[in-house]
Structure 1
C-alpha cells in the first residue's frame, strides 16, 4: 500500500495546483473508453445493444448459463469429483471490478462537472459509499480483489477519497490492488483501450499458479472487461468464470440497487459450481 500512498501524494499535489483541470483530464481519459467501444463495435459491424428504459426501479439478476460452457463445466465437474476433491487440492478466487460506472457513478457525476454537487447528490453518494464498500468487503472475504480501470493512474484513489471515503478505506484496509490499464499499456497500444484491459488482466496471471482450480469473478458495465476476463480465464488450466454485467451510465440510486443485489447474491454466485454469464436488468413494469 506504500505505492498507493505515493500515488495519492502525487494526486493531492496535482489537485492543489489545478483541481478542475485534473478532474476533467482524468474523467475524459476514463469516459473516452465508452466512445471507443461504440466505434469499435461499428467497425466490426455489430449493432450496440441499447438498454431499454422503463418505469421500474427494481433490478433482477438475469442468469445465463452459456451453452458453449456445458462441455467445459462437465469436464470440470469430473475433475472435481475424481481428482481435485480426492487429492484435496487448493483453489483460488479472484474478483475483478471495473471502477467507473461500476463502483462509482462517474458518467452521472460528469453531468455536474464533478464539483459543487447538490445536497441530494451528496446524499445519494453516501448510500453508494455504503453499498460499494459492502460488496468490496464481501469479495475480499473469499479471495483476492482487484480494481482494473482504463482511467489514469491515481483516479480510483482520488475519486474514492473525494466521493466515497469508506470505499477508499476498504481499498486500503483490505489491500485491494488498483491497476490503471491506461498507465500500463496506452503507450504500447495507443487508442486501443480494449487491449489495455486485456493486457492488464493477463498481467494478473503471473501472480498465481495456473494449474490450481480458479474461481474468477468479474464485474463491470462494459463488455471490455467481460472479454478481458474470458481471456484471463484461458490462462488457467481449470477455471470457472462468472461475469456480471452492470447497466451503463447509471444514476447513483440505480447503481446502489445493482450493488446491493449483487451483494445479496454474492455468496450464491461465488459458490455456484458453474461458469455464469449474469446481466443486471430492470424488471419490466408490472412484473
Structure 2
C-alpha cells in the first residue's frame, strides 16, 4: 500500500487521454480526488466515462497523460498491479466466473487482488477464506455463498462484484453503474452498501445514470461530454448548469433535480 499525507489527494490524473484513431474517447481528463470522498461521474452514453475508468485502472493503456495513486505513479501499470496497490473496481456488465460458486469468485478476487502471485493457481488459506466470508456478509450474500454464480439474479451479480472488490481491501474503489437496470428498492439496498463502504474510509468514484443515486451519495460531481469534463462541482449545482441541461439532463430532469434539492434543504 502507498503511504502519504492524509491531506494529500488519494488520486490524481493529469491530462489523461485515450484515442482510437481520430476519436478521442477520453480527451485530456485532469482530476484530483480527496481521501474519504465520493466522486460521482455522469454524462450521456458515449461520453467516455467507462473508458476513463478502464484507462486509470489499467484495463486499457492510456494514449497520453499521467495518473497517481497517493504518491505512486500508476501510469502504464497493469490492472492487477493497480488493484494490489489498493485500487479496486467493478464493471458495468457482469464480470463474474459463472462456473464458480459465489464464495469462490470472491476468493479469486482476494487471492489475486491483494498481492502479486507468481503461480496462477487458487490456493485457499484462512486469510482468503476469512476475507471472502467477511465481504459476502458485508453485501448480504453470505446465505448464497455456495451457489453457482450463474444462478444469481442481476442485483446479486452486482453485489458479488462489489464483494469481490471489497475483499481486496481497497483504499480507492471505482464503481461502474452499480445500480443500472435495478428496481427502486434494489437501488436503495446498493446505496446503503456504498454508504457502508465509505464509512470504512474507502474513497469512492462511481459512474451512474440514475441521478438520485449519483447525487445523493456524491461529495462532488463531474459530468463528462465528448471525452471532456463539462461540469465539476457540488451535486446541488448540476441542474443549474445550462451546458449540462442542454447536453445531458434536459429541462424536465433539471426541474425534478431542483425540486429534489429544494426538498432536501427545506
Asked if Structure 1 and Structure 2 have the same fold, meaning a TM-score greater than 0.5 normalized by the shorter chain, the answer is no
Calculate the TM-score normalised by the size of structure 1.
0.26
Question: Which of the two has greater helix per residue?
Answer: 1
- Larger relative contact order (CA 8 Å, sep ≥ 6): 1
